[in-house]
């Protein structure tokens, strides 16, 4: 094997596949990147058996084909530091004694590689069921929902997101037991009905890789046990979370006794100011009191107190209700509308933040508090 690369292109491809390199494994081969060079080009692959990524390297020259499995951490550090010039040429040569030689400028590295035949192949995915959407749309869908997945796997279902396709509509849902995020997106054509649960880790990683370009497409293929994302010169394959997702329609209600419309930026800024007084593990609630045309916000903590008042448009009853301020912030930060509408029933029932067109719904459970203290 003998290959010539432009440093920036090789480093970009290495950085992509590193996201699927196993960090905790009893199988050393999973700590490797597979280099596969042929007349078709050079492809790098990483696979931790839950997530696998294959990507092609641009602007490379295959002088002699071959395959090698190299330690991912070591190889990436060498490529990063062997030269500081993006347009410098890096030559990678493999010999029959299981040694890879990496040369650029005045530096030469020689490292041992493992048997490429031991490297696990990516699963073959049936291409029958799929959807197509822009990289921008997928990135936005993930950004607007990923924050409400559960950070721990005590309930595996909560660590992923529901992707449900009905005809030409994609519904993405995440929840962590305290809140629900729903994003509805119109697709370009009718794709039938499909429903899968994709791990949050997979969605986080693909969101970091895709450019967010509205003119570039992502094709998502769904099978019984896996999901495949195909974009640019890259394939990302992930296991799905097995099981039946929560019946969220039973948690959603169109009934309310108070509707409040408020300027999103003003609301967001007021909540952010209140969190100055909240330490990382402090669970002090933000108390919202809505009366007539005003919304007052109050937070008391061991560090002090804050009061703020906003003008709003209110329909229905006055209400005093408490929230974890972080949950409100997470939702407001991903809403692009100038104004937001809050729908509430009573201080113990969920609050809904949603738009008139049903493009997004954020359900947030209130917290208990003693009204006499406010």
The percent of residues above 70 in pLDDT, for the chain, comes to 99
- Phi and psi dihedrals of 16, rounded to 5? -65, -50
pLDDT category, 199, cuts 50, 70, 90? very high
* Vertex 142 angle, CA 136 and 146, to 5°: 160
Give the contacts of 224 (CB within 8 A, at least 6 positions apart): 240
User: What domains sit in the chain, N to C, each tagged with a CATH number?
Assistant: 2-118 (3.10.150.10), 129-247 (3.10.150.10), 252-373 (3.10.150.10)
Which residue, chain included where needed, has tokens 């002699």? 64
Number of other CB atoms surrounding residue 357 within 10 Å: 7
Q: Which of 221-225, 313-317, 369-373 has the lowest mean pLDDT?
A: 369-373
pLDDT digits (tens, 9 = 90+) for 20-60: 998 888 899 999 999 999 999 999 999 999 999 999 999 99
Does pTM surpass 0.75? yes
pLDDT band at 154 (very low <50, low <70, confident <90, very high): confident
């Amino acid at each position: 094997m003998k290959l010539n690369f432009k440093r920036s292109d090789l480093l970009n491809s290495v950085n992509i596949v590193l996201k699927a390199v196993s960090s905790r494994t009893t199988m050393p081969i999973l700590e490797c990147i597979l280099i596969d060079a042929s007349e078709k080009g050079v492809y790098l692959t990483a696979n931790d058996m839950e997530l696998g990524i294959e990507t092609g390297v641009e602007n490379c020259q295959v002088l002699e084909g071959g395959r090698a499995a190299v330690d991912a951490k070591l190889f990436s550090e060498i490529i990063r530091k062997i030269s500081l010039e993006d347009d410098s040429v890096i030559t990678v040569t493999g010999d029959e004694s299981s040694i890879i030689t990496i040369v650029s400028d005045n530096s030469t590295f020689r490292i041992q590689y493992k048997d490429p035949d031991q490297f696990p192949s990516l699963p073959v995915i049936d291409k029958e069921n799929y959807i197509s959407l822009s990289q921008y749309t997928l990135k936005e869908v993930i950004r607007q929902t990923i924050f409400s997945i559960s950070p721990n796997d005590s309930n595996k279902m909560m660590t992923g997101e529901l992707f449900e396709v009905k005809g030409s509509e994609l519904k993405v849902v995440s929840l962590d037991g305290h809140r629900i995020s729903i994003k509805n997106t119109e697709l370009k054509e009718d794709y039938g009905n499909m429903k899968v649960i994709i791990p949050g880790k997979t969605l986080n990683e693909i969101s970091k890789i895709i450019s967010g370009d509205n003119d570039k497409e992502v094709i998502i293929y769904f099978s019984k046990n896996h999901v495949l994302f195909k974009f640019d010169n890259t394939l990302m394959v992930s296991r799905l979370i097995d099981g039946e997702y929560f019946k969220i329609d039973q948690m959603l209600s169109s009934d309310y006794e108070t509707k409040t419309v408020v300027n999103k930026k003003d609301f967001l800024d007021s909540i952010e100011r209140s969190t100055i007084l909240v330490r990382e593990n402090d669970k002090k609630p933000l108390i919202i009191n809505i009366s007539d045309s005003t919304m007052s916000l109050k937070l008391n903590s061991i560090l002090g107190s804050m009061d703020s008042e906003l003008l709003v448009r209110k329909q229905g009853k006055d209400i005093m209700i408490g929230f974890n301020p972080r949950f409100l912030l997470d939702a407001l930060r991903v809403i692009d509308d100038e104004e937001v509408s809050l729908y509430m029933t009573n201080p113990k029932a969920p609050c809904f933040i949603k738009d008139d067109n049903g493009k997004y719904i954020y359900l947030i459970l209130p917290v208990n508090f003693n009204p006499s203290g406010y």
